Amino acid sequence: MNAQSVNGAPPRRILVVLMGSIGDVVRALPLLGRLRRAYPAAHLAWAVEPKSAPVLEGHPWLDQMMLYDRRAPWSFPLFLYRVRAGRFDLVLDLQRHLKSGLTSWISRAPDRLGFAAANTKEFNHWFSTRQIAAQPNLRLKLMQYQSFADALGIAPAPIEFGLEPGPEQLRRADEIIGACERPLLGVILGSSWESRIYFGRYAAQVVVEMNRRRGMIPVLIGSAGERHLADDVRRHLGGIEAIDLAGRTGLRDLPAIFRRCRAAFGPDCGPMHIAAAVGCPIVSLWGATAPERSAPWGNAEFAIKADIPCHPCYLRRCPIGRECMHRIEPAAVAAALERALLSAASLQNVKPAAAAAQ
């Protein structure tokens, strides 16, 4: 069997199955880029749920989104019908569970690539025709996804996400943020797991310190459901004016907003990965989950994890009051932000020098 196709010809219609987590979808975008480079004429589709769809909407490397909305009655059978009608000849199952395995199998694609049995659950590996090599559990997810391109024999490529904001997004960010000549500090408020959320008074202490050191103005970033987190931070800011975007923006706005920020910090969540994807230095805070597996690309050195024996527990709700997040001191976060800012400034200085030497 040819490394790229079961019949030796390049695949014409490819489906990526990765439906859920925003952060996972962002981290799989570099794989999409490698697929586009390797198969420029192929039709590239992605099976995704609505919550993560804005990450893919209008993406330059993607031809089609196949939406699965679990909230709608009979949604899964109808979704599977559309997948089968897609006549795909290559499916990449990045999800590892029963539902994604069924999606891959129902496509009838002759080539269905999935994770090895050791990395799957719910017998997912039964539905693929071949598997990538078993992955270390704490290997970065982004690199695990890259292993699919390796298994297809695709040449290595730079890690790119294709999330650069366009002129319209940049204009909207300017309208939302307003005229502010002082450096902006992104404050990511929430996470899909309650156990991962940093405490508002601690986040405010970080803001106060960065305002004192560098005059940074906080930009509070969160959904409408995280309005209470924004209010909690603001209560502890001691008069520092914040640009409060909680509930005022969507995922499509975030690339441009993070491009306006000099740096950002926050817990393990999808927006954290979007910040890294557009080059915003990000300090990530880890308690219930592990940075070894999920640190934002290019920013692993600025990950701060709790010094507590139960880390990482992978519990959505903490039975001991998020003690892990209590142990992440605001002073340590501010120090990591300083390192991130210095590192970014150093890279900016290197780029003009390199360009001048050419």
pLDDT along the chain (358 residues), means of 10: 59 96 97 97 97 96 95 90 97 96 96 96 94 94 97 96 94 91 95 95 98 97 95 95 94 96 97 97 96 95 94 94 96 98 78 47
Q: How far is it, in rounded angstroms, from Cα 168 to Cα 54?
A: 15
* CATH class name, domain 13-151: alpha beta
pTM of the model: 0.93
pLDDT score of 276: 97
**Spatial CA neighbour of 54 closest among 65, 45, 70:** 65
- Provide the pLDDT for residue 180: 86
* Phi then psi dihedrals of residue 14, to 5 deg: -120, 135
For the domain made up of 167-354, give the CATH fold: Rossmann fold (3.40.50)
Q: Say what the pLDDT of residue 348 is.
A: 67
What pLDDT was estimated at residue 179? 83
**Tell me, what amino acid is at 323?**
E
Domain ranges for the chain: 13-151, 167-354
Instruction: Give the model's pLDDT for residue 73.
Output: 80
How many Å apart are CA 264 and CA 116, to the nearest integer?
36
Q: How far apart are CA 10 and CA 42, in angstroms?
A: 8
Name the phi and psi angles at 283, rounded to 5.
-95, 120
> What is the rounded distance in angstroms from the CA atom of residue 176 to the CA atom of residue 153?
44
Give per-residue burial for 310-344: e unless 16+ CB within 10 Å, then b.
ebbbebeebeeebebbbebebeebbebbbebbebe
